[in-house]
Structures are given as C-alpha cells and as structure tokens.
Amino acid sequence: MSSDTKTAKDVALTLCLHCHKLNPVSWSVCSRCGGSIHLRKPKSVQVTLAWLITAIVFYIPANIFPVMTTYAFGRETASSIIGGIFELWEQKSFVIAAIIFVASIIIPILKILLLLWLCLSLKLNLTETLKLRTSLYRLTLWIGRWSMIDVFVVAILVALLQLGGLLSIQPTIGSLAFACVVIATMLAAESFDPRLIWDSLER
Amino acid sequence: MRNLIACEHCDLLMEYPVLNHAQQAHCLRCGNLLMSRPKHSLQLTLSFITASIILFMAANFFPMISAEEAGFKNQMRLLEAAYAFFAYGEWLLGFIVFCVVLLLPFTIMLLIVYLLLPMIFYRRLMPKTNFVARLVFSLQKWSMVDVYLVAMLASITKLTSMVTIELGVGIWAYIAFSLCLSAALANLDKQRFWRYLDKIKCHQILKQQKM
C-alpha cells in the first residue's frame, strides 16, 4: 500500500452510510439526509458476534426438529430440512434439490463461519487478505436473503395442500427456528463494518 | 468536500468520478462499486414501480395455484401463504412471511412513489422526504419478493409429483410483479438519488430568490 493513500478518517471526515455524503467527524447528524452518522458502526464486532451466537443457537433446533408434517392417507410423516432435500433428490428433481441444498445448508453455515472469521481476524489484527475479506463480506451481505427459500416453500405447501383427510401439511417448529437463523445472520452481516478490516493498516 | 468521495467498504478517499452513461466507478483499493450512471435510472424506477403496483394487485386478487386430488380441490392466493401459518398457530412465522413478501414490498412501493413522483414531475419535495428516503434504503434488502419467486418455482416442481397442479392468472401476475420490482430496485441507486435530491433543493432555492 502506497503511503499517499488517505482514508476519510485520516482527514477527519465521516461517510454517511445513508446518503454517502462526507461530513466532519465532530458532527453526529448528516448535513444532507439528517441520519445519524458514526465514524465506524458503533460496537460493530460485539453486535455482529451477538447476532452470530443467536444464529448458531437457533440453527440447532432448525435441524433437529422437522420443518413440516405431512398427513397423507392417514399416515403421518415429519420431514426435516435435510430429509426434504433427500426426498427431492430421489424424485429426480436434481436442480430443485441442489437449489434448496445450497440455500438452506451451505449458505447459512458458510455465512456464520465467514463472519466469525472476519470478527476473529479483526481481533488478531491481520493485515493480509484485506481485499479478499472485503469481497467475502460483500458476498455474505448479498447472499443472506436467499436462505429464506426453504421457509417460503413450507409456506406454499402448507397453504396449498389442505385436501381434507386425503393430504394435508402442517408447519412445525423447525421452520420458525430456521427463519430466525436467516434473520439473525442477515442482521449480523448488516452490523459488521468492513472498514474496520482496513483500519488494521494504520496500526 | 464536495468533489471527494469515500468508499463505503474501506473508507478510501477518492476524487468524485466523472462518468458517462456507460461507465462505472470502482473503489481503487477494495473494488467496491462506487457509482454507475445508467440513463434515466430514477425515471425507470418510478415507471417500474407503477407497473409493479398494478401487478401486485392482480397477484393478490387472482388465485395463483390450485391443487386437485381425488375430488378435493384447494386454491391459493398470495395472502394465503402467510395466512396458513396463522391457521396452525404459527403466528410468528406467519407474521415474518407476511412482512417480507407482502407488507414490506407494498410499503416500499408506496413510499417510492411518494418520493419520486413529485420529484420527477413537479420538482418538489414532499414533507419528511429525508426520513422516508432513509427508511426506503434501509428496508430495501428486507423485501424478499425475488426469493419468494424462486421458492414458488421450487414448490411447483415438488408439487407436480404429489398432486395435480393448475396454474392460475395470479402466478403469471406474480412473476411479472417480481421482475418489475427487482428492475425498479436495481435502478434505484443511493448515490444518484441523493444527488438528484440536492439538485431539486438548489432549484427550489433559486426559485425562491427570483420571487
């Protein structure tokens, strides 16, 4: 990094995250949009870690408990997230099985691990892989909402398959836990401040 | 201060880029997209939003999918997907789904019309413009209309192996609605919006001075 690169912080300016206007550091409200401004997101790492722990706690019931129960011809079957994917795979709908596998297994785990690594690397003051970490952060920010697919699939199946005693589907507690995992990871990603990654260059 | 810009993701201070409509500016250090200048982006947002509002009504009014098996038949409208959870006592989950696929997208659409319509056609700002604009930008990522579309396609594939499925007008309206809303939100650029707002504020001040 060349020595003439300057950050907004170096020249005592704060970027308003609401409207991207630069304001003097001493101001607490943006002169253009009136939103509150901070040099860095307040208590960013702590808040991110808190949401991550919440997500991890919810992740356990989300996988242990079934997401829905199917009553078909008097028979009762409970299906979990992983069970549902296997079922789809056996029915030869490979694309859908792959989409749900990626959205509801890979993305949440990857997101939690990535954000944990980002928080840890700040504590360790790592000065390598700055650009990579920022790109990965952008990925977690963008990809988080797609995990909701599984919850919505349950919603649609429950709404549609109410065919008397023949076939009906009930939601179970697993889907609520999974929705909470997704929301907690989204909030975690949002409270993380990637500028802290680059601040390690100054020290 | 006016001809400087800082990167949102790494705080690097740069000169304000001068772009033509085909160019994009990325951060020199972390590669974050700083700015792009598509033609008439805010006008496009407004027109796509208008289309989405109409399509949203249609998607709510017409049944989307109906399932049939051995004489039993059941239809689903957009609202019923969230309502079904309430019926089984999962009111919290029902509330979450209702918020992210119905309430938030609808609120965002109305707020964008509230902001942009007077700005584009009358060069005027509505009361509380700053607050509403900040609200829109922070709520934007919580509207999961596009995610719901993919979920819908996934569940249709799953359903065809279980029961007989019939697609209604509602689902085509929903697909169109989802595409329009995504196009509208993709064209709504933070940077461009606030610059445009500044321009209108200047215009108002000049008008007052003339009087």
State whether B28 and B52 are in the same domain: no
State whether B21 and B113 are in the same domain: no
**Contacts with A67 from chain B: Cβ below 8 Å:** none
- Rounded to whole angstroms, the Cα distance separating B120 from B40 reads 11
State whether B81 and B98 are in the same domain: yes
Does A174 reach chain B within 8 Å, measured CB to CB?
no
Percent of chain A with pLDDT over 70: 97
Q: For residue B176, what pLDDT is reported? A: 95
pLDDT digits (tens, 9 = 90+) for B71-106: 777 888 888 878 888 888 888 889 999 999 899 999
Q: Topology of domain A1-39, per CATH?
A: SH3 type barrels. (2.30.30)
The chain-wide mean pLDDT, for chain B, equals: 88
Interhelix angle A149-160/B91-98, nearest 10 degrees: 110
Q: For residue B1, what pLDDT is reported? A: 54
CB contact under 8 A, B11 and A18: no
pLDDT digits (tens, 9 = 90+) for B193-208: 998 898 898 888 888 8
- Rounded to whole angstroms, the Cα distance separating A104 from B211 reads 61
Q: For residue A2, what pLDDT is reported? A: 46
Q: For residue B90, what pLDDT is reported? A: 83
At B56, the pLDDT band (50, 70, 90 cuts) reads very high
* Higher pLDDT among residues B87 and A109, named by residue: A109
Structure tokens given for A72? 């078909």
- Which residues touch A113 (CB under 8 Å, ≥6 apart)? none
- Lowest-confidence region among A182-191, B66-75, B148-157: B66-75
For the question of an ipTM over 0.95, the answer is no
- Rounded to whole angstroms, the Cα distance separating A198 from A122 reads 10
For B94, the enclosing helix (H) or strand (E) is: helix B91-98
CA distances A7 to A10, A189, B6, Å, are: 5, 23, 7
Q: For residue B2, what pLDDT is reported? A: 62
pLDDT digits (tens, 9 = 90+) for A61-94: 998 888 888 887 778 888 888 888 888 888 877 8
State whether B17 and B117 are in the same domain: no
Q: Which domain holds residue B7?
A: 1-37
Mean pLDDT within A30-44: 88
CB contact under 8 A, B10 and A161: no
CB contact under 8 A, A197 and B10: yes
Which CATH number belongs to the domain containing residue B177 in this structure?
1.20.140
From the candidates A17, A65, A152, which should be mutated to test the interface with B, based on the most B CB atoms within 10 A? A152
State whether B147 and B196 are in the same domain: yes
CA distances A164 to A67, A78, A102, A161, Å, are: 21, 18, 33, 9
- Rounded to whole angstroms, the Cα distance separating B38 from B167 reads 36
State whether B21 and B99 are in the same domain: no
**SS3 of B27, please?**
coil
Least CB-CB distance to B194: which of A1, A33, A163?
A: A33
Nearest residue of chain B to residue A193 (CA atoms): B9
State whether B78 and B29 are in the same domain: no
Does A135 reach chain B within 8 Å, measured CB to CB?
yes
* Global pTM value: 0.89
State whether B72 and B100 are in the same domain: yes
State whether B206 and B127 are in the same domain: yes
pLDDT digits (tens, 9 = 90+) for A172-199: 888 999 999 999 999 999 999 999 888 8
State whether B25 and B55 are in the same domain: no
At A203, the pLDDT band (50, 70, 90 cuts) reads low
State whether B74 and B160 are in the same domain: yes
* Residue B29 to chain A, least CA–CA distance (Å): 7
CB contact under 8 A, A33 and B148: no
**Contacts with B65 from chain A: Cβ below 8 Å:** 156, 160
Q: Are B168 and B75 in contact (CB under 8 A)?
A: yes
- Lowest-confidence region among A161-170, B26-35, B181-190: A161-170
Residue B211 pLDDT more than 80?
no
Nearest residue of chain B to residue A36 (CA atoms): B134
The chain-wide mean pLDDT, for chain A, equals: 87
Mean pLDDT within B156-160: 83
pLDDT digits (tens, 9 = 90+) for A115-149: 999 999 988 888 888 889 999 999 999 888 888 98
Where does chain A hold its CATH 2.30.30 domain(s)?
1-39
State whether B77 and B46 are in the same domain: yes
Residue B169 pLDDT more than 80?
yes
Least CB-CB distance to B11: which of A7, A152, A170?
A: A7
Residue A4 pLDDT more than 70?
no
